[in-house]
Amino acid sequence: MYDYDLLVVGSANADLVIGVERRPGAGETVLGSDLAVHPGGKGANQAVAAARLGSRTALLARVGDDAYGRLLLDSQREAGVDTVGVLVGGAPTGVALITVDPSGDNSIVVSPGANGRLAPADVRAAACLFHASRVISTQLEIPLDSVVEVVRSLTPDSRFVLNPSPPQPLPPEVLAACDPLIVNEHEAKVVLGDACVSEQPEDWARLLLAKGPRSVVVTLGAEGALVASPDGTARVSSVKVDAVDTTGAGDAFTAALAFRLGAGASLAEAAAYAARVGAAAVTREGAQESFPTAEEVDAL
């Protein structure tokens, strides 16, 4: 038996959010709404999203010994996430500066802060969490060498899920462990680099599989997702909703997919569920505040 359905290794940020009529161009200043501060960061978001769905979830992350760090710890515990793996100190808590336009689209700049100090030694020291977890999920808002250490810390029976965001080229060792690699259009093109010569998601998935992942999921926003494995590809539709704020929707999708895979769902089944979770998330403002419960997802 596993103590945790999901271990998330990743970032924890304070999201500083301003609504704008339109996002500024280079050298331009625009006026926005009052500043709102929310708990965020891809790792922390995914942990909360999974816990809200009923997953037994732990988080391995690093925050600063400051007010933002306390905000993040409180939000994790309130959602039911085990924070035994959250390290405190070493640098200020990471911060994300987010602008959101009336359509719900966002632009994000991240100051990593303590996230950049989550070191391979911290990952090795958390070996007991890896042995206690069915699925391990991570992203790229922590150092890449720490992500490599995550892969090296996997047990033979665990499953590794990676969302390479913000995207960068990945070493073969990491790609080979992904089951699945979850990418949007931008992330797919960065990971593929010069190999990306098509605008078709099916081609991106095929080329990504050739790089070594055991499976691939391409998220397509309102159009749902595409899942791919050596057995073939399939489209997964989403639920049509009125988007209010897309912040955190990708994290909700990744968390839901990882959780359902750990529960024994097929890749297509998990992606279909994750698409509904992501759709529910965009109907509310904020990141963690927007994540639905399992009952709310069923209501869709």
Q: Active-site residues: which are they?
A: 251
The token pair that represents 222 in the structure block: 């309102």
Query: To 5 degrees, how large is the angle CA 279–CA 282–CA 287?
Result: 125
Rg (CA), the chain: 18
CA distances from 105 to 44, 69, 242 (A): 21, 27, 12
Q: Is the peptide bond before 180 cis (omega within 30 degrees of 0)?
A: yes
d(CA 81, CA 59): 7
d(CA 255, CA 219): 13
d(CA 252, CA 280): 9
Check if the beta carbon of residue 242 is closer than 8 Å to that of residue 285.
Answer: no
d(CA 267, CA 227): 7
Using DSSP, state whether 7 is helix, strand or coil.
strand
d(CA 11, CA 46): 10
Check if the beta carbon of residue 164 is closer than 8 Å to that of residue 181.
Answer: yes
